[in-house]
Amino acid sequence: MARLYVLFFVAQIVLAVCALISCLSAEEGEIRALPRIAWVLIILFFPLVGSIAWFVAGRTSTGARPRTPWPTGDGFSERKRARTVAPDDDPEFLRSIEERSRKDDELFRQWEDDLRRREDDLRRREGEPPREEDPPRAR
């Protein structure tokens, strides 16, 4: 008789664990009648009755909607995902960097020329001879 009680106790624990896992892994739309926390408390405090109640009344039937183990896709269309390219592989991005670099170089050259012109003007006003030109730069 003691073996029967032990078997009944183990079956009750296994049923409660399965019901608890099913309840916690169910999506919000699959839970009926009560909120998830209420179902969890019922299963924990009344393992046999709560587990049976969960499987009978707490969740939607599995035949109503086929459930995938995880959601498919990430919200982006396949076409958009296929077009995504890393920045160092994207020719348009690399072209924009080259253009920006050329514009920056030209702007720096203009600033340097303007600075040299201002320094020469200042030296002429002060009576100093203009400085010798720097050797040609590689452009």
pLDDT value at residue 50 = 93
SS3 79: helix
**Residue indicated by tokens 């408390």:** 41
Q: How far is CA 54 from the centre of its chain?
A: 34
Angle at 101 between CA 119 and CA 94, to 5 degrees: 180
Is the pLDDT score of 133 beyond 80?
A: no
Q: How confident is the model at residue 128 (pLDDT cuts 50, 70, 90)?
A: confident
Check pLDDT > 60 for residue 76: no
- Collapsing DSSP to helix, strand or coil, 131 comes out as coil
- CB neighbours (10 Å) of residue 42? 19
Residue 106 confidence class, pLDDT cut points 50, 70, 90: very high
What's the pLDDT score for residue 40?
93
Q: What is the pLDDT of residues 32-66, one digit of tens each?
A: 888 899 999 999 999 999 999 998 988 776 555 55
